[in-house]
């Protein structure tokens, strides 16, 4: 597909908190897929994971801070405003109604590995393409073995160098009173400190 304004990608997740590794993923997809925009979509509640540590609104605000000043990146409150379990298929359908075009859903290899447990995965891949961020070819091949051949045709690999940042590590560092600022945008770190997030 050619690049253009009707080509865009959504980057969903808990972002609890958003870190520089997330930013690297979004930037890699922006460049590799030649989309006009990567839209970060913090979820209200991930149906496949435990409850988030920060509130949905706090995670939304941190995403807005993390993407501030980065061209080609935006944040949507579509799942936070929905206020229920967040299913990617629902978000994709809603977005395509208001913004028709070629849409990619960004995910890691671990998410692809479990995609058959998502809500209506076959329908999802009829509506959009998947941008799978893979750090190792072996991991990608294992994940691809979990999906049908038809579904594989809708997957684009986005290569990315390993990044040390992770939300789990950030929360762990804060809990033990270490400083995770090298993994965070300074504005996000200030936000966390001001609100005392992830302290207990």
pTM for this prediction: 0.91
Two structure tokens written together for 113: 């590995």
Architecture of the domain made up of 4-163 = 3-Layer(aba) Sandwich (3.40)
**Alpha helices, DSSP H only, in 161-200?**
167-175, 186-195
Q: CA-to-CA distance for 61 and 77, rounded, in angstroms?
A: 10
pLDDT digits (tens, 9 = 90+) for 136-166: 666 677 778 878 888 888 999 898 887 788 8
pLDDT digits (tens, 9 = 90+) for 39-88: 999 999 866 566 789 999 999 999 999 999 999 999 999 999 988 888 99
3-state SS assignment for residue 38: strand
3-state SS assignment for residue 119: coil
Q: What local confidence, expressed as pLDDT, does residue 200 receive? A: 75
Q: Which of 10, 20, 134 is nearest to 67 (CA)?
A: 20
Residues 6+ apart with CB under 8 A from 165: 19, 20, 21, 22, 183, 184
Two structure tokens written together for 94: 């809603």
Give ∠ CA 35-182-65 in degrees, rounded to 5.
50
* pLDDT above 60 for 130: yes
Q: CB of 151 within 8 A of CB of 121?
A: yes
| In the chain, where the domains are located | 4-163
């Amino acid at each position: 597909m050619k690049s253009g304004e009707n080509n865009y990608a959504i980057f969903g997740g808990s972002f609890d908190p958003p870190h520089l590794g997330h930013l690297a993923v979004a930037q890699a997809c922006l460049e590799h897929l030649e989309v006009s925009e990567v839209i970060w979509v913090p979820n209200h509640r991930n149906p496949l994971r435990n409850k988030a540590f920060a509130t949905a609104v706090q995670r939304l605000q941190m995403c807005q801070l993390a993407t501030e000043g980065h061209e080609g990146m935006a944040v949507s409150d579509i799942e936070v405003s929905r206020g229920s379990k967040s299913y990617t298929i629902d978000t994709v359908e809603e977005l395509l109604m208001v913004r028709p075009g070629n849409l990619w859903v960004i995910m890691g290899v671990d998410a692809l590995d479990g995609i058959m447990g998502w809500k209506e995965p076959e329908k999802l891949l009829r509506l959009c393409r998947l941008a799978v961020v893979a750090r190792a070819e072996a991991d990608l091949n294992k994940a691809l073995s979990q999906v049908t051949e038809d579904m594989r045709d809708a997957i684009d690999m986005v290569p990315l160098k390993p990044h040390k940042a992770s939300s789990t590590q950030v929360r762990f560092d804060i809990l033990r009173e270490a400083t995770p600022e090298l993994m965070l945008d300074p504005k996000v770190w200030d936000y966390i400190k001001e609100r005392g997030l992830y302290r207990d």
